[in-house]
Amino acid sequence: MDFEHTSLVIRNLAKLHALSFALQKTHPEDFELIRSLCAKDIQYADPGSIPKCLISYFKSSINVISNPVAKAKLEDITPSILALLSKCSAPAPNYSTICHGECWNNNILFKYQRPVDVLFVDFQLVRYASPATDISYFLYMATDPKTLSKHYHQLIDIYFGTLSAVLRQCDLNVEDVYPRSIFMKHLKDYSVLGLLEALISMKIITAEAEDALKMKSMKYHAEEPCQYETQNQPLSAWLSNAKMQPVFLLSFHVGLICIKA
Asked if 121 and 109 touch (Cβ cutoff 8 Å), the reply is yes
Let me know if 170 is exposed, middle or buried by CB neighbors in 10 A (0-12, 13-18, 19+): middle
Q: What is the pLDDT of residues 121-168, one digit of tens each?
A: 999 999 999 999 999 999 988 887 788 889 999 999 999 999 999 999
Give the pLDDT score at 214. 62
pTM, two decimals, is 0.84
Asked if 123 and 99 touch (Cβ cutoff 8 Å), the reply is no
Architecture per CATH, 3-253: Alpha-Beta Complex (3.90)
* Average per-residue pLDDT for the chain: 83
Confidence label for 227 from pLDDT (cuts 50, 70 and 90): low
pLDDT over 90 percentage in the chain: 55
Give the pLDDT score at 67. 79
Asked if 92 and 137 touch (Cβ cutoff 8 Å), the reply is no
Exposure string of 30-59, with b = 16+ CB inside 10 Å and e = fewer, is ebeeebeebeebebbeeeeebbebbbbbbb
Region 117-121: mean pLDDT is 95
Is 248's pLDDT higher than 60? no
Q: Provide CB contacts within 8 A for 8, sequence distance 6+.
A: 110, 115, 116, 117, 118
Q: Give me the residue spans of the domains in the chain.
A: 3-253
As a whole number of angstroms, the distance between CA 39 and CA 96 comes to: 10
